[in-house]
Amino acid sequence: MHEHQLSSLQTRISPLAGKPAPPASLVNVAKLVTAYYAEVPDPAVAAQRVAFGTSGHRGSAFERSFNEFHVLAITQAICQYRKAHHIQGPLFLGIDTHALSEPARASALEVLAANGVDVMLAQGDEYTPTPAISHAILAYNHARVTGLADGIVVTPSHNPPHDGGLKYNLPNGGPADGGATGWIEACANAHLKNSMKGVLRISCEAALRATTTHRHDFLNSYVSSLGSVIDMDAIRGAKIRVGVDPLGGAGVHYWPAIADHYGLDLSVVNAEVDQTFRFMPLDWDGQIRMDPSSPYAMKNLVNLNSQNHFDIAFGCDTDHDRHGIVTRSAGLLPSNHYLCVAIHYLFQHRPHWGQQAAIGKTIVSTRMIDRIAAKLGRKLVEMPVGFKWFADGLFDGTLGFGGEESAGASFLRLDGTVWTTDKDGMIASLLAAEITARMGRDPGEIYSELTHELGACFSDRIDAPATAHQKKALSALMPAQVQARELGGEKILSVLSHAPGNGAPIGGIKVIAEHGWFAARPSGTENIYKIYLESFLDEAHLRRLTADAQVIIGATFDAKFSGKSGDADEVANTTGLSI
């Protein structure tokens, strides 16, 4: 990679960003589902093998990276993992609204039933948010020590409509850790390599009739428990007007149920479910992406709330594990800003949380959280990206809150016990309503107050396309390969490749100076890489950090691949990375 090949962020924003999708760009659902069944992945091709990122396996049927064989192989591997680890309770199985989720659920059920696994499907085949699966696992396993439950969520999260995905949740309710996903990934790829000979399967019709297939009321079980984690009386009593855009996702029927159950003045602004997601404004790169942290994807709700329709509004992604908060004062609140407000509020308004309950954040989240933690006198735990790192702490109460820069968070119940150990976009959103109701100010106003007290932070995140080779090279960068001595005009104080909170690799590097930092890491869910930047001075300093980050990353890659002769393909496929 060479400096002259790097381009500015502005050149990467599509001219269609924030605009309606042209009809020709919409996914052909019939062709996509046909490809799911008809296309067969080649295990000799790396991009067509099973690969668990930060949250499960994802891909597209068109690219032979998410097809029926993948789902069959992964599900059989999960069955074998359960047997090897003595997980003998029911498996809670849910789906989101992506086009491939319905056929993938059928494929998974065929294998689960053939293996004699008790499966809990949603009543009425209702869509099921990720947090509802985590909540169901924890509720079932409460006070049990044997016969524990686990779960599968069929979702590619906020990914584009042509993608599919599948993730596995352990008996602690959280995303499977690296040990589990590595085991399952290796086993699934062995099934692909062996032409699926070890995969047990019965017909979908037989699976639905099997005595091991049951129905579970995810929706009402989840909704009726929300009063244990959110002060619903405060929201109702303040009579604030709340707007919700489910972005066509799995919580589309949960929100009206929440409003009815708790008597809230809550309106769903768009209840449409359309597997093309034609109602979504295009994201930064001109693709449809149901990302509630994106100002482009959230443009409809932002425009609506600018007309003062609501006191607070929010949206969630397709499986409802991420949130986006839209305020009157600041519009769509950057996810880092809302994490700060949520932490600052929760640890002062949850008197039953123990003093041992720490604050969890990812290594690429704002350092404003560090300042808030110091103000509150709470321990701060800094983890790699991936919510799996917070699951154990939320489970045993040693973490009161876990949050990611990418708009994912969960926290304890009012009494200090576990709620979910996976991200929960619904409680994060409802918390914004509680904050507005109890404080008389919206989260945007409160964040502004925090900056006056603790100082302002200026942040940015750059997403850019990256090949599998480029992502692999980025994830392997080490501090010793960074030769630069300055960042933003200041001495570089440290370069990290492992998280301070647990010593685990961060899958990239973080370069830190006194008044700013940047981190570079590949996405674990899409073919992009991300540059995170933050200045504690001003916007001009942030721009200087951006320029320096480009140079440092470029020089690091030049040094990494200089002199290589035996791996020409890797060099060729890794150079040319640009932001």
Residues labelled catalytic:
157
Residues 401, 347: Cα–Cα separation, whole Å = 9
- Chain-centroid distance of CA 526 in Å reads 11
Residue with tokens 């584009």: 160
CA distance 53 to 48: 14
Phi, psi dihedral angles at 233 (to 5 degrees): -60, -40
- The token pair that represents 434 in the structure block: 């509680």
Task: Please give the DSSP secondary-structure letter assigned to residue 290.
Answer: -
In this structure, what are the phi and psi dihedrals at residue 17, rounded to the nearest 5 degrees?
-55, 130
| Contact of 441 with 522, CB cutoff 8 Å | no
Burial 435-447, CB ≥16 within 10 A → b, else e? bbbebeebbbbbb
Q: First vs last Cα of the chain: how many Å apart?
A: 11
Query: Do residues 529 and 542 touch, judged by C-beta distance below 8 A?
Result: no
Sheet of 312-316: strands edge to edge?
Answer: 266-268, 242-245, 312-316, 323-327, 331-332
Q: What's at 262, amino acid-wise? A: Y
Go through the chain and tell me how many residues it has.
Answer: 579
Burial class (CB in 10 A: 0-12, 13-18, 19+), 480: exposed
Question: Amino acid identity of 116?
Answer: G
Q: Which amino acid is at 527?
A: N
3-state SS, residue 144: coil
Two tokens, residue 369:
């959280």
* Measured distance CA(297)–CA(278) in Å, rounded: 12
Burial 117-145 (b: 16+ CB within 10 A, else e): bbbbbbeeebbbbbbbbbbbbbebbeeee
Classify residue 491 by burial, with Cβ atoms within 10 Å: 0-12, 13-18, 19+: exposed
Residue 384 φ/ψ, nearest 5 degrees: -65, 170
H/E stretch holding 124: none
User: Can you point out the beta strands (E) in 453-489?
Assistant: 458-465, 486-487
Q: Reduced to 3 states, what is the DSSP secondary structure of residue 479?
A: helix
Residue with tokens 């074998």: 80
The structure tokens 């949960």 sit at: 254
Bridge partners for 164 per DSSP: 59
